[in-house]
Structure 1
Amino acid sequence: MPHLSVHVLESDLSGRETALISALTDAVVTVYGEWARGLVDIRLIGLPPHRWGIGGKPAEQPPPFVTFGIKEAAFSRPDADEIVARLVTVVTDALADVFGERVRDGVTVELVATPAGRTGIGGVVAPS
């Protein structure tokens, strides 16, 4: 299941939640296929400006930061480099579509691998 946590200023996020969820879901589906649509889990985390710092001071207009949880096995596929590049591109495009081109150059998409057997759902380790 692809998990995306998006950190963005609350003032930038407000009123754009539905559009952002839709755009990010569509982006993931372009890489994985339509079968993944119902599995995409997106969490939008809006922060007030005084709770986001860059360079030792509150950030003026920080670009969105995305943590993209992905199964570790995806990185050992023969097409792993292509998948990573496509995910970074489509997620960045989705964010730029919703927030405007001003964010594109600073968007960070961090793909975080979860090894098989290291996730629990409902108090039980999820099958690989």
Structure 2
Amino acid sequence: MPHVTLHALEDELAGREPRLIEALTDAVVTVYGEWARPSVEVRLIGVPTGRWARGGAAVATAAPSVTFGMREEVFAREDAAAVVARLVAAFTDAVTAVFGDGCRDEVLVELVGQPVSRSGLGGKVLG
């Protein structure tokens, strides 16, 4: 189950939730295919003003960041570099479609591979 987590300043996130959920889900589908849509889980986390900082000082604006959790086997595939590039581009496009192209150069996308043996669901280890 792919997990997409987006962090953004609360004031900038408010009211954009439905469009973001759709855009982030569509980003996964553009890379993996329509079969993945039902399993995409999106979490939108709004950070209150004063709790996002850079260089030791709180910031008034910040580009959203996206973390995509998936099985680590993706990174071992022959086409891993292409998949990574497509995911980074798709998530960046999704964020800028909702927040505007002005934040494009600062959108951080982190792809996190999780070994199945270190994940659990319903109290049981997967894999």
Give me the TM-score of the superposition, normalised by structure 1: 0.97
The AA in structure 2 aligned to 1:40 is V
In percent, how many aligned pairs have the same letter?
Answer: 56
Give me the whole-angstrom Cα distance separating, in 2, the residues matched to 1:100 and 1:82.
25
Match of 2:60 in 1: 60
Distance 2:28 2:108 in 1: 16
Shift of residue 116, structure 1, vs aligned partner: 2.2
Asked if 1:44 is matched to 2:44, the reply is yes
Structure 2 portions without partners, runs of 5+: none
Structure-1 residue corresponding to 2:9: 9
- Deviation of 1:60 after TM superposition, in Å, equals 2.2
Q: Does 1:119 align with 2:102?
A: no
Shift of residue 76, structure 1, vs aligned partner: 0.4
TM-score by length of structure 2 reads 0.97
Tell me how far apart the structure 1 counterparts of residues 48 and 116 of structure 2 sit (CA, whole Å). 35
Residue 118 of structure 2 aligns to a residue whose secondary structure is: coil
Distance in 2, matches of 1:48 and 1:10, equals: 5
Q: Which amino acid aligns with 2:120?
A: G
How well do the aligned residues superpose, as a CA RMSD in angstroms? Answer: 0.7
1: CA distance between counterparts of 2:37 and 2:105?
Answer: 27
Structure 1 segments of 4+ aligned residues over 2 angstroms from their partners: none
Mapping of residues 82-97 of structure 1, within 5 Å: 82-97=82-97
Q: What CA deviation, in whole Å up to 9, does each residue of 1:26-48 have, x standing for no partner?
A: 11100000000001111000011
Q: Which runs of 5+ in 1 are unaligned?
A: none
